[in-house]
Structure 1
Amino acid sequence: MKPTHVRLRRACAAAAAAGVLIGPAAAGSAAHGAPTARPPSATATAPSPGTDAEFPQLTPAVAARLDAAVRQVMRETQVPGVTVGLWAPGKGSYVKSFGVADKATRAPMTTDLHVRIGSETKTFTVTALLQLVDEKKIGLDDPIGMYVKGVPDGDRITLRQLAGMRSGLFNYSLDADFIKKLQADPEQTFTPGQLLAYSFEHPVQFPPGARFDYSNTNLILLGLVVEKVTGRPLHEVITRKVLAPAGLRHTVFPTSAALPEPYAHGYTDQTASGKIEDSTHWNPSWAWAAGEMVSDLQDLRSWTRTLATGTLLTPATQAQRLKTTPMDIPGDGYGLGIFNVQGWIGHNGSIPGYEVLPVYLPQARATMVILLNTDDQYKGQEPSTLFGQAVTSIVTPDHVYPGHKKPPAPKSG
């Protein structure tokens, strides 16, 4: 049996492997081997919005190149199905699905299917938290111990450090006992308290704020803060305060393993046997505030722009959100539940069976959304990263996600 790590991707899409997030066997919830970060004092802000004359018209010729690039990555990675969406004002759009949504029936992948979005959930949880900041009900520099008791270093770790992945708390989804228990019964339910218990059995990894280290534990704590302050379950707060005002009608924070119709089946090798299984109806409660949500292509398109432009927050709070701590590639950084990777702003997500990559490029006001129905890595990399790299190498060669060298030109056909 090969060793596996439950994925709920680390959100450092920057690392050639970082996965949310990207990294060798990242736990969709996190990967082991988080990217090395420079000191948190070095910060950068998101590029100013504007227009980018170099973003191409999405003509039939460009679409043909994109088709060939996507198919080449599919051949290499053996991804069952993928949907790619590109939109840029004045440049047109490219929206297309490839492959199958269900390997048993061979039903095709289509652009209207729901998928689990893994760590993209973090963007919703942190938005709900930042709305409470705008309402002056909490402060980003409040210690987590004000809201949740029993957190190691809870009197020192701030909400800002939790949202920015600089708390030093161990990532529960990398705990060997947790992984064994989840793989033994992927349909079981976990509570936030159970998840934190796995983390708190480990020593704090470093002093609060000392460096960047992606940890799903941080988001479980922030979800509890939202619940504590509002007096409501997290899924209700996000539905009422984030999804409704953002106009997202096909995005849900489920309270069970059910998926809204229609949906793509998900496939993963993050299993006890190491063999690929259908994980569609695995219970995502183990990811909760860090990765439990479900969405579709058009909602993610809308949400990505809302997230990057700060529609639901005050300008001052959005500016704090976009202030980033460098990750491992020059020019890339992680803010408060959001990243900036080579100018693309957003967050990727991965959970057993699914990956998503919804990002926004302010210079071109362009949006890219990629949805997959597998999280199986290819040569140590997240497949969503490889698709993102292939697409951006064609349409934004000066902003290739995630900053790697351009892949070889795809073969025609």
Structure 2
Amino acid sequence: MKNIFVVFLFVLLLMACEKSETIDPETYSCSFNFTDNSANHPKAQQYQATVNEIVSKGTVGIMMSVYHPNSGQWLGAAGKADINNNIAMQPCMTSRMGSTIKMFTATVTMLLYQEHKINLDEKISNYLKASYIHKIRNAETATIRQLLQHSSGIYNYIQNPKFQTASMNDLKREWRAGDLLPYAYHQPAYFAAGTDVRYSNTNYILLGLLIEQIEGQPLHEVFEKRIFNPLGMTKSLFAAKNPVPNNIARGYIDLYSNFKIIESTYFSGWDYYTADGGLISNPYDMSLFFRKLINGEIISQPLLNEMLTWKTPKEQDADFFPIAYGLGIFKMTTAKGDVYFHSGDAIGYYANMMYIPSSKSVIVYAVNSNYGKLDEWVSTKKAIEKILESTWE
């Protein structure tokens, strides 16, 4: 889901002075640990044309995975991973996936529930220290399930103008949960817990603290142990382990809405250490995760059914598809049919992972440029419709 930022002119001037690094092209060398037959896929040309067109509209680089049970998987890329060093984007590279981590956070929470370590219908305040809870309205009464479903009514810290100002004044600052939660302190709740749904990153910061407390390990170790290693997600890591890997695709932003992009690789420090963001991955790994989750290979089918129990917001975004909220997953109603999804962005990055229940297909794409005029072709309703039109079976 889209993070909300206010852009200040004096910050833009500072950002414009940022210099790109000289990086050895060998640093970006990558491959898959399996034979990739994408070139022989029956729709390889069609899918490649789709990513090529997105780049032609101004996107710096894109990776995409298209999986259909009947025709198999196609992996492709277009554009640049690094403009300064003239590095072409490859499908085996990694990028920031932003809030898509929330589906992983929800899945780990469901695993703890499956193991009887927590109860989804107990209050989060029964598990976390009062210092995390008592200054956040609704946090003392909201349940774990309500946090997962964004039905807690808890204020979204990212929407606090004071946070936006602080973040923009120090774009390379690395934030921890204890730095971010105060921006939700004493802010009005959106509604009484359980009465509506509204997206809030604060919910998932609290869930991340819950996971760390129950498991007795930092989040990056929990995700490795619970998700990445068992599923063979060799290109994935939680940013806290290595916030800016040398081989990550460079990020770019169109702040002036004129296609004069600025590199922003180091500007997502609020997103490294908390469970509302911080995933570094690529479309293949994310497609693998989504397929195994939906197939009941990570959590049991009854618990998956709970994740896919939908709650519709009282107000919808007129500029997007009608959506419904599950537990760490969303459903959008498109002209072609329902799509389960979670998107995410950071400064200079956007990703979207989509599952089509009618065909059991998974489409995942990630770009290393956003904001301004770039968003029109990667994250809007029109952009998603075009991608679904070219990949739907």
For Structure 1 versus Structure 2, the TM-score category normalised by the shorter chain is 0.7 to 0.9
SS across alignment from 1:101: strand
**Match of 2:378?**
383
* Alignment partner of 1:392 out of 375, 382, 388: 388
Once the 2 structures are TM-superposed, how far is the Cα of residue 229 of structure 1 from its aligned partner? Answer: 1.8
**Match of 1:219?**
204
Aligned counterparts of 1:165 and 1:234: Cα–Cα separation in 2: 21
Once the 2 structures are TM-superposed, how far is the Cα of residue 255 of structure 1 from its aligned partner? Answer: 1.9
Give per-residue Cα distances to partners, 1:15-61, cap 9 Å, x unaligned. xxxx47xxxx579xxxxxxxxxxxxxxxxxxxxxxxxxxxxxx9988
Question: Residues 266-345 of structure 1: matches in 2 within 5 Å?
Answer: 266-269=251-254, 276-286=261-271, 288-327=274-313, 328=316, 332-342=323-333, 343-345=338-340
Aligned counterparts of 1:69 and 1:248: Cα–Cα separation in 2: 26
Once the 2 structures are TM-superposed, how far is the Cα of residue 153 of structure 1 from its aligned partner? Answer: 2.4
Q: Which stretch of the first structure deviates more once superposed, 298-307 or 67-76? A: 67-76
Contact 1:114 1:259 in 2 (8 A): no
SS across alignment from 1:166: coil
Aligned counterparts of 1:331 and 1:182: Cα–Cα separation in 2: 31
Give the aligned residue type for 1:395: T
TM-score (norm 1): 0.75
Once the 2 structures are TM-superposed, how far is the Cα of residue 332 of structure 1 from its aligned partner? Answer: 3.5
Q: CA RMSD in A?
A: 2.7
Give the aligned residue type for 2:55: M
For structure 1, list consecutive stretches of 5 or more residues without a partner in the other structure: 1-9, 11-18, 28-57, 398-413
Among all aligned residue pairs of Structure 1 and Structure 2, give the percentage whose two residues are the same amino acid. Answer: 28
Aligned counterparts of 2:300 and 2:51: Cα–Cα separation in 1: 38
Q: Residues 59, 362 of structure 1: CA spacing in aligned structure 2 closer, same or farther, 3 A cutoff? A: farther
Aligned counterparts of 2:88 and 2:194: Cα–Cα separation in 1: 46
Contact 1:114 1:260 in 2 (8 A): no
**Match of 2:156?**
171
* Alignment partner of 1:368 out of 363, 366, 375: 363
Q: Residues 384, 225 of structure 1: CA spacing in aligned structure 2 closer, same or farther, 3 A cutoff? A: same
Aligned counterparts of 1:330 and 1:255: Cα–Cα separation in 2: 33
Give per-residue Cα distances to partners, 1:185-222, cap 9 Å, x unaligned. 12212121221110124111211112111110000011
Contact 2:321 2:332 in 1 (8 A): no
**Match of 1:112?**
92
Q: Which stretch of the first structure deviates more once superposed, 334-343 or 85-94? A: 85-94
Contact 2:150 2:203 in 1 (8 A): yes
Tell me: higher relative CO, structure 1 or 2? Use CA pairs within 8 A at least 6 residues apart.
1
Q: Residues 86, 379 of structure 1: CA spacing in aligned structure 2 closer, same or farther, 3 A cutoff? A: closer
Contact 1:100 1:107 in 2 (8 A): yes
Aligned counterparts of 1:200 and 1:180: Cα–Cα separation in 2: 16
Give per-residue Cα distances to partners, 1:145-173, cap 9 Å, x unaligned. 11232232233211111110111111111
Aligned counterparts of 2:278 and 2:55: Cα–Cα separation in 1: 26
SS across alignment from 1:358: strand
Aligned counterparts of 2:221 and 2:101: Cα–Cα separation in 1: 14
Higher helix share: 2
Once the 2 structures are TM-superposed, how far is the Cα of residue 267 of structure 1 from its aligned partner? Answer: 0.9
**Match of 1:74?**
55
**Match of 1:121?**
101
TM-score (norm 2): 0.79
Contact 1:255 1:285 in 2 (8 A): no
Matched positions, count: 343
Question: Residues 144-155 of structure 1: matches in 2 within 5 Å?
Answer: 144-148=124-128, 149=130, 150=134, 151-155=136-140
* Alignment partner of 2:171 out of 176, 186, 202: 186
Aligned counterparts of 1:85 and 1:303: Cα–Cα separation in 2: 12
Q: Residues 154, 171 of structure 1: CA spacing in aligned structure 2 closer, same or farther, 3 A cutoff? A: closer
Once the 2 structures are TM-superposed, how far is the Cα of residue 244 of structure 1 from its aligned partner? Answer: 1.9
Give the aligned residue type for 1:136: H
Give per-residue Cα distances to partners, 1:98-152, cap 9 Å, x unaligned. 1111121221111111101100111111111111111111111111211232232
